[in-house]
Structure 1
């Protein structure tokens, strides 16, 4: 869709407001909205935004970053291809935005631009990425100042499908109306916990779709007097919620195998190619710093625990749902197109542009340096002895956001990929959030994250 198509569609739909949205370093989806009368000019020139917002945290504090204070401006310039009419609020549309400096160039503090740059790196190597996410979330109600599950459904139970059938149908209809492809839906392990899987698409649109799904799930649930939360660990005694990332690499015209899934090799175990193995090797080599990007909240590390199906160790395996990377079984008759890698560890408190960009950067390093991921682990890595894990090079994930940030700062590959402006802002934002929560009880941490995500 080009800019004129957007303007025409918005006018024909009689929209009153069009949101210029983005996901910030705190993992919060924010934005400003233009009145329809201003859309023809705003869509080209953007909406002004103070540079301090690049250092704005998820707890409404400001990270201390030189040059990111009250003086200075950039523009939220929308990507017309992301335009959608919002089905769950009246007379409103939305687009996701790039952060553009006043001289018209992309600002390297922009998480979306980071993903664009990693996509460009893939393209220079004759590859493109397709990705999708599995969205886990809870439905809840507020009772006497506390959040409680909206029902007591069991994992995969048909009763659970019935309990929230009406709201789920409305969510699916709203996503379909916005052009988001849907794969699967089922109830998950916690009471009133849901899982919704989206269809693969190219990497930038996949990250946009993660944001769009978050917005839609929460917006539709609100119309049913429910709170939908994608917080990583909204109930300390229940399963956490992830945003499992699925990814595959495909050859472009620049490659020897244009149009082919580069993770596919029919002669190898699980149909996984050597390139796919190297990609896994890169993820596992960098995972202790990578989780700072994919699991960006204090609450995240209550979820990343052994034996909770979220992964807690730098292990991989075929259909191993406790591994950091799972290689799912291919589908009959679609082996060459369905082979992909699933990163189990990400959650929705991580900015999806940073998360997916970080995974690509780590995987590319694996390909470049032919990093061997080791043998697949075909058991729960948490059930192995410490000695066995050490022998196999399997490491425990960081157990706190602070520890993961320390690992990120030591990871030269990820820091170089992010660039100094973005990495400085991101780390400052996260250090600010850590400071905010340092004196809070676990339950207070949960409550703060419950509504924010």
Structure 2
């Protein structure tokens, strides 16, 4: 039997992917992963090699994960340019790319030669966290709510597509601007199985938001990579840059990627919401309170993973709808954790928590896995949050802050990384190699951007995310 035929027989899912690629006239398939700086990378293989590469994977030097945002290799023990790992695709993530005729992609785990996590795979990290939650009887559903800017480069500067004639937020004329591009983007997402729920023009010039349906935690992180690829790919066909940087225009409003999540029991045991309790005022269950308390306790350190770039901290300022404290509250859009009010007749199904200290520059596997890890710690320790904030946390009195256990978030990347290194729960969850890699790579970025001017910062954040 030929090797390719054996590969097809060994895993029926491989045969399905190969058949789908052939049917769509795909010639190149991108084996994609996300590095610790949040940048998506891919190696493309020819469709004739797809059957056996789906099984054996594609080689990748260990040093590739030691690259920082500026593509400098950071010296990290165990991640030298000696030895290889493998990019092993998950067949369930195969999609044809509507904006790139003849191309498709699959998302990959980074595995050692024996098919185990080599210690620095963000996707494997999230898998471990999901398994830990499942062992506690918890299934996490989530989605990322993305904002992004559309712009063009003119004389070395990035200009919003509708400047200086920016339409008001949520306005009808704002939807008419670039409506063809937005429809094409929505169609491309839909073609890949991503359910679009809402599409709006946002506050900033050239800023847009698209909300997509929640799914399981690993699927939500996968979906986030596919989402960013699609938005950028479709825009590029029109000569437009889509930037997922947190603050690509320092004087304009920032872009978030708020994480909406809910907690559910095992499907085979009723599959009921573990967050929603209709007998409690506000609907938040005791388990939900413990989860929120865990996130709030670790939140200053968690910022290093969920708003992780040097540029991210320009967004975390008071009264900017981005959160600058650990406060939580019911429909409080200035709080780090907002209990979203449920919809009529869908109360249990729609009850969720919005985590606002998140932007699109984060590696979604690391950010979502870290968020869940903090919440699970709160459940295991039976932590209780302070009082919910009933107004903008920036306007709370000292007594109200104390009752709410409200603390300020770090104001810089360097401060956040120091807090992360000191947080035993997060460091233990990441594991020794991944945590060491993350801290070293991110600190190298901080040093580079702190030594440069704002134009350097914006340029290197604008087009990499």
Quickly name the TM-score band, shorter chain normalised: over 0.9
On the 8 A contact 1:270/1:330 being kept in 2, the answer is no
Alpha-carbon distance in 1 for matches of 2:97, 2:318: 39
Aligned: 1:250 with 2:264: yes
Alpha-carbon distance in 2 for matches of 1:68, 1:356: 24
Aligned to 1:274: 286
Alpha-carbon distance in 2 for matches of 1:363, 1:156: 34
Alpha-carbon distance in 2 for matches of 1:100, 1:173: 33
Q: What's the secondary structure of 1:20's corresponding residue?
A: strand
Alpha-carbon distance in 1 for matches of 2:405, 2:278: 28
Q: 1:95 aligns with which of 98, 103, 106?
A: 106
Aligned to 1:47: 58
Deviation for aligned residue 1:283: 0.5
Alpha-carbon distance in 2 for matches of 1:267, 1:93: 48
Aligned: 1:315 with 2:315: no
Aligned to 2:371: 359
Please report the TM-score for the alignment, with normalisation by the length of structure 1.
Answer: 0.98
Q: What's the secondary structure of 1:2's corresponding residue?
A: helix
Aligned to 1:23: 34
Aligned to 2:160: 149
On the 8 A contact 1:310/1:345 being kept in 2, the answer is yes
Aligned: 1:164 with 2:178: yes
Aligned to 1:259: 271
Q: How many residue pairs align between the two structures?
A: 451
Please report the TM-score for the alignment, with normalisation by the length of structure 2.
Answer: 0.95
Aligned: 1:105 with 2:116: yes
On the 8 A contact 2:389/2:404 being kept in 1, the answer is no
Aligned ranges for residues 310-389 of structure 1 at < 5 Å? Answer: 310-386=322-398, 388-389=400-401
Alpha-carbon distance in 1 for matches of 2:251, 2:455: 11
On the 8 A contact 1:271/1:335 being kept in 2, the answer is no
Q: 2:295 aligns with which of 283, 294, 308?
A: 283
Q: CA offsets, 1:177-222, max 9 Å, x none?
A: 0000111111111112111111010000100011111000000001
Aligned ranges for residues 220-235 of structure 1 at < 5 Å? Answer: 220-235=234-249
Q: What's the secondary structure of 1:312's corresponding residue?
A: coil
RMSD: 1.2
Deviation for aligned residue 1:346: 0.5
Aligned: 1:79 with 2:90: yes
Alpha-carbon distance in 1 for matches of 2:273, 2:400: 34
Aligned to 1:420: 432
Deviation for aligned residue 1:391: 5.2
Detail structure 1 runs of 4+ shifted over 6 Å in the superposition: none
Alpha-carbon distance in 2 for matches of 1:408, 1:386: 26
Q: 1:450 aligns with which of 439, 456, 462?
A: 462
Q: CA offsets, 1:198-254, max 9 Å, x none?
A: 101000010001111100000000111111111000111111001000001110157
Q: CA offsets, 1:363-386, max 9 Å, x none?
A: 001111111111110101012245
Q: CA offsets, 1:94-133, max 9 Å, x none?
A: 0000001012212221000000000000110111110011
Aligned ranges for residues 106-255 of structure 1 at < 5 Å? Answer: 106-151=117-162, 152-252=166-266
On the 8 A contact 1:289/1:411 being kept in 2, the answer is yes
Alpha-carbon distance in 1 for matches of 2:153, 2:397: 42
Q: What's the secondary structure of 1:195's corresponding residue?
A: strand
Q: CA offsets, 1:308-343, max 9 Å, x none?
A: 111110000000010000011100000011111100
Aligned to 1:10: 21
Structure 2: runs of 5+ lacking an equivalent: 1-11
